[in-house]
Structure formats: C-alpha cells, structure tokens
Structure 1
Amino acid sequence: MAKVATILPPSRLSLVLLARLSALLVALLALTWGFYFQTSFLHHHRPSSQQDLIYAVLHPLLMVIGFIVISGEAILVHRWLPGSRNLKKTVHLCLQGVALASGIFGIWTRFRGEKGVVANFYSLHSWMGILCISLFGAQWVIGFLSFWHKVEMRTIRARVLPWHVFLGLYTYGLAVATAETGLLEKLTFLQANGRVMKRCTESTVVNCLGIGLVLLSGVVILAAVSPKQRNLQIAYSNGKCLTS
C-alpha cells in the first residue's frame, strides 16, 4: 500500500521566514526609537503635554507597525496559511482592515492639535501619506465588494483580480516610500536644530529602520509575485520511493 507525503517547497518557507524576521527587526527598531528617544518627539518651541508626547510617538508606531508590517503580513497570507480560499480571504481582509484602521488613526494623531490639518499638510511626506491611505481605503472597499459580495459573478472577480493585486502591491510600496520620507524629514529636522548629532545612536536607529523597511518591502513583494510551486509529493510503496 502506497503512502503519499506532501512537502512544502522550501523557497516559499524561506521567503515567509525572511519576511517575518524583517518585520520583527522593523518593529523592534520602531519601538526602540519611539520609547527610548521620546525627547525627539517633543516640540522644542512650545511646552508639550504628556498627551502630545503620546500622540507624537503613536504616529510612527502606528504607521510602521500597524500599517506597513500588518499589511505586509496580509499580503503573505495566501503564501503560508493552510485551509480553504475563503479562510485565506477572510484573514487577508481582516488584517488589511486592521492596517487601514491603524493608518487612519496614525494620520489623525499627526494632524490633531491646535494648528489643524491644513497647517500640517505641507510636506511631500504628508501629501504621500494622504494619497497612500486614500488608495489603501479604496482598495480595501473594492476588494470587499469584488470578492465578498455574493451577487458578484465569477467573471467579474477574475477581471478585477489582476488590478487588485497590482494596486495592493503599489500601495504597499507607496506606504514604505512614504515612511522613508517621514524618517528622512524627522531626522533632518532634528539634526538641523542641533537636537540630534549626525553620528549618534538615534541616527543609527532611524537609518537602520529605513534599511529594514527596504528589506521588508523587497521580501514581501518578491513573495507575492513569485510563482506558486507545486507541492512535492513523495509516494512510498514496498520500500521504494517514487516522486511526482
């Protein structure tokens, strides 16, 4: 009697593992920057309350960990999660919903305060952030309607799928690019005002965070676009090994 064993292709496992390690590195660096260097998030020209400090620290944490890391994990769901397609789509949709909520709240923490939205909406970082969260929200709604509305026909879903994948990866890449501009803007501001030296621990942490985001986005996008390999099946019959 033959026995069949199914082995997951090692390349897929290695990409997912590398993505997880990159995400862990990014999360640790973001937490280190937010909690260990809190004075960098205080306003130097006016007194800041404890609430202002909390919101200032929450902005990079929500946008990096809540938005980029979690949305990256949502992209990888179809690569590692076992089970039916409906289960994978449910987890994907929920994780993207968490990422969207984190992004919206993260932007709100930046635009709140006495100056308001208009006064803070001046830099390339802020423009890219609004564009990114708008595209992400539209992508989430379109994905929900296209893949979860029961009256949608299979042919319509097939037509929407390539655009859904493209916009998802484009928005994810845009989110990483937006985060990089934010890191550069913050670090340049701190160094120009003499609050942070060009060669110091905080500058190193922020630069490593930027490199970590580049690594993470590259691995996630590579895992998303790489072709799915067929599982290797090994059949054992009468002491002989047959592969297929």
Structure 2
Amino acid sequence: MAIGVKATPFTFIVHALGIAGAVMVLVWTIHFRGGLAWEASNKSLIFNIHPVLMLIGLIIIGGEAIISYKSLPLKKEVKKLIHLVLHAIALVLGIIGIYTAFKYHNESSIANLYSLHSWLGIVIIVLYGIQWVYGFVIFFFPGGSSAVRSESLPWHVLFGLFVYILAVGNAAIGFLEKLTFLENSGLAKYGSEALLVNFTAVLTILYGAFVILSVLALAPPEDDYSYSAL
C-alpha cells in the first residue's frame, strides 16, 4: 500500500521534527533536571541519560534509518548500508538507555520492571534486536536468495513498522509516567517544565507519524529498492 504523494516533503518534516525533539529532550534533562551523569550522588542525573538515549537513539535515529530509502538520493547498496548502520546505532543506544534506567533504579533502591512502560521497553528492544539480526542475515550478509529476499521484504517492513510504532507509543507513556512522578513530588502542573515534557511527547508522536507517512509515500523515481512493497 502507498499513498499517491512524494515522500520527499515528509522526510524533510521528519528531519526538522527530529532536530526539535533532540533539542527539547536535552533542554529538559540538562536545564530543568540538572544534567547527565554516569556516576553521581544525585541519582536523577543517571536517569536523565535514559530519555535522551531512548528518544535520540531508538526513536529519532531509528526513524531516520527507516526513511533512509526514501530520503537519500544514493545508490541502492549505499542506502542499504546506511539503513543497517543507523539501526545498529539506534539499537545500541536503546540498550544503553535501558541499562541506565536499571542502573538508576538499582542505585536508588527502586524496584525494576513494575510498570507497563518498563515491560514494553524490554519487549521492544528484544524485537528490535531480532529485526536487525534478521535484516542483516537476509539482506546484507550472508544474504538470502533473491526469492527469499523478495518474499521477506514486505514482512520485514511491516514488522519493523510495528516495532517502531510500539517504541513511539512507549516513549509517550514514558514521558507521561515521569511527568506524573514529578508532579506528585511538587512540580507545577502548568509550569514551563511540565509543558515542555508534554510538548516533547506530542512531538515524538508527530515524528513517528511522519516517519510512517514517509514510508507509505512514493519513493524518488531513481530509487529502485525501497519500501514500495507496501
């Protein structure tokens, strides 16, 4: 399935929203929450790494990886490599981001895996890893036969979009969960920080929506290997 409009305008919006989202989460964690730290007496600084890596890594870089076939005027093999590498970076940053949440909980004597957000997070990162390994083996090295690749591509795309939509939804849940904790601890519900967190969550959803629109839109004419299988 594809919509009858060109993907290029959507991909430009994706890039712009990605930059805005990265800036917003950094402003939140650095300006409002005190900064980022791997080791600190203030354990909240450790937690701050989590939303930064999950949004910039899994959501933004992951989204750029998804639209790479539609946004880059390059040869098929080059785009395939970029797609693979960007997803690898997103996966690694996602794993580190999840680890920092566990690290923060453990050092703060907080229970792990008690919320829907944490459950979905583990499921998503596992599925993301499976998707990446499958894509590497079938489409990159050693690579399946042309028939296997042709039959696998639509399912690879659909499964990838399913995992990505889960990730975007879970990121929104994560922002809501953290903001609820902060507000219960005294943060002003209509203050600038609360508004920033809510708008970051909204932007995350918009970013995901335009990634999907980019995938469903028409690839550039010179593109001979894209998500047209949809």
Distance in 1, matches of 2:101 and 2:46, equals 7
Other-structure match for 2:47: 56
Does structure 2 retain, via aligned residues, the 8 Å contact 1:40–1:190? no
Distance in 1, matches of 2:145 and 2:159, equals 21
Q: 1:154 to 1:122 in 2, by over 3 A?
A: same
Q: 1:114 to 1:133 in 2, by over 3 A?
A: closer
Amino acid paired to 2:98:
I
Q: Give the TM-score of the pair, scaled to structure 2.
A: 0.87
Other-structure match for 1:108: 99
Q: Does 1:158 align with 2:153?
A: no
Other-structure match for 2:21: 26
Distance in 1, matches of 2:120 and 2:30, equals 26
SS class of match (2:43)? helix
| Count of equivalent residues | 217
Q: CA deviation at 1:59?
A: 0.5
Other-structure match for 1:134: 126
1:89-104 matched pairs, under 5 angstroms: 89-104=80-95
Does structure 1 retain, via aligned residues, the 8 Å contact 2:105–2:112? no
Structure 1 unpaired stretches of 5+: 1-8, 43-47, 232-244
Distance in 1, matches of 2:196 and 2:111, equals 29
Cα-to-partner distance string for 1:45-80 (whole Å, 9 max, x where unaligned): xxx934734421110000001111000000111012
Does structure 2 retain, via aligned residues, the 8 Å contact 1:70–1:98? yes
Q: Does 1:145 align with 2:134?
A: no
Structure 2 unpaired stretches of 5+: 223-230
Q: Does 1:225 align with 2:216?
A: yes
Distance in 1, matches of 2:163 and 2:143, equals 27
SS class of match (2:7)? helix
Does structure 2 retain, via aligned residues, the 8 Å contact 1:33–1:206? yes
Q: Does 1:214 align with 2:205?
A: yes
Cα-to-partner distance string for 1:3-30 (whole Å, 9 max, x where unaligned): xxxxxx9943211111111111111110
Q: What do you get for the CA RMSD once the two structures are aligned?
A: 2.5
Other-structure match for 2:227: none
Amino acid paired to 1:18:
I
Among 1, 14, 32, which residue is 1:37 paired with?
Answer: 32
Distance in 2, matches of 1:118 and 1:191, equals 18
Amino acid paired to 2:60:
V
Which has the larger Rg?
1
Percent identical residues:
37
Distance in 1, matches of 2:71 and 2:81, equals 14
Q: Runs (4+) of structure 1 moved beyond 6 Å?
A: none
Other-structure match for 1:239: none
Q: Give the TM-score of the pair, scaled to structure 1.
A: 0.82
Does structure 1 retain, via aligned residues, the 8 Å contact 2:36–2:45? no
Distance in 2, matches of 1:141 and 1:207, equals 34
Q: 1:40 to 1:203 in 2, by over 3 A?
A: farther
SS class of match (1:120)? coil
SS class of match (2:144)? coil
Larger relative strand fraction? 1
